[in-house]
Each structure stands twice: as structure tokens, then as C-alpha cells.
Homo-oligomer: A and B are copies of this chain.
Amino acid sequence: MTRPPASVRVEVRVELKPGVLDAEAESIEKALGLLGIASVPHVTTARVYDLEFSGVTPDEARRCADEAVERLLANPVIHRVTVSPRSG
């Protein structure tokens, strides 16, 4: 029997779906123009959750992350979610 690794990290990236108003991104676009940094930038924002599980296999960690997304971290009506393993 193989022992599970000490800890497994999974990255959950939560973005707004296309068409959903991203007020923070719009404010940043406007501010970048006003500050003279860039005239016509396009900005999108995302929230990233780095989940680190102890004493589980990568598969179990992935399942926990999927369940966390479904029950806690994202709203399927407005959010697009990417779950990916991270090394370390």
C-alpha cells in the first residue's frame, strides 16, 4: 500500500462568466486610462483559492476541491470555475 503524500494542493480559480458585469474590472480599466498608464486596456478579474489538504491522495483532494466549489466557493449561475492541481 502506498502512503498518501504529506499534503496536496489544489488551485480553484473562480471567474465571472462572460456577460456578467465585472464592476471591479471596469473600474480598473477606467483608472488605468485616467492615470495615463494604458489607454484602452481590457481587464478581467478572478478569485483564486489555494486549498491544501493533508493526508489524502491527489484524487481525494480533487474530489474535496470539487465539493468545496459546489457547496461553498462558487455560484454556478454567474461563475466559471477552473480546478487544477498544484505542485508543492
Contacts and interface: CB of A to CB of B under 8 A. Distances in A.
Which range contains the number of A residues in contact with the other chain?
20 to 34
Contact of A67 (B37, B42, B47, B68): B37
Contact of A50 (B43, B67, B73): B43
A53 B73 contact: no
B32 A54 contact: no
A78 interface: no
Given A28-B72, A38-B53, A40-B54, 15 more contacts: A13-B48, A25-B49, A28-B68, A28-B73, A32-B68, A32-B72, A35-B72, A37-B67, A37-B72, A38-B68, A41-B53, A43-B49, A44-B49, A47-B47, A48-B48
